[in-house]
């Protein structure tokens, strides 16, 4: 995973007014397919932003949210914020795991050198 990795919105944002005219359904797509940690963080963040997500289980790359028609722009901004937050979380988690894995490899190499040195002594 490169430093430039991240989930982002792609394609056209769809907004459909609901049957009662009191709600709008916002549909957007994200790519690449998100890992589970990203999805968990994203869903927690949008809940914290008080955004109702109605669809992601069947297609994790497609997000559907509900808002009042006058609040669509605000809700899309909150979704974008949640996407950025989840990207930062995944980058941090992956980076810390890589560092830990690097330390494990270095420790194993040091142990191996000590064993070899002990055999030579």
- More confident position, 112 or 44: 44
CA distance 66 to 93: 30
Q: What is the pTM of this model?
A: 0.70
Tell me, what's the pLDDT at 81?
94
Residue 46: CB atoms within 10 A of its CB come to: 23
Strand-pair partners of 14: 27
* CA 55 to chain centroid: 16
> Does pLDDT of 24 surpass 70?
yes
Q: Give me the chain's average pLDDT, please.
A: 82
The residue that leads in pLDDT, 6 or 55, is: 6
Q: pLDDT digit string (tens) for 34-64?
A: 888 888 899 899 999 999 888 766 787 888 9
């Amino acid at each position: 995973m490169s430093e430039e990795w991240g989930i982002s919105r792609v394609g056209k944002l769809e907004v459909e007014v609901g049957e009662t005219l009191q709600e709008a359904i916002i549909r957007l797509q994200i790519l690449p397919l998100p890992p589970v940690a990203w999805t968990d963080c994203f869903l927690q963040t949008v809940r914290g932003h008080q955004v109702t997500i109605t669809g992601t289980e069947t297609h994790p790359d497609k997000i559907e949210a509900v808002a009042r028609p006058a609040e669509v722009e605000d809700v899309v901004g909150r979704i974008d914020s949640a996407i950025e937050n989840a990207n930062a979380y995944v980058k941090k988690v992956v980076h810390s795991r890589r560092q830990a894995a690097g330390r494990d490899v270095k420790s194993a190499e040091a142990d191996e050198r000590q064993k070899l040195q002990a055999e030579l002594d």
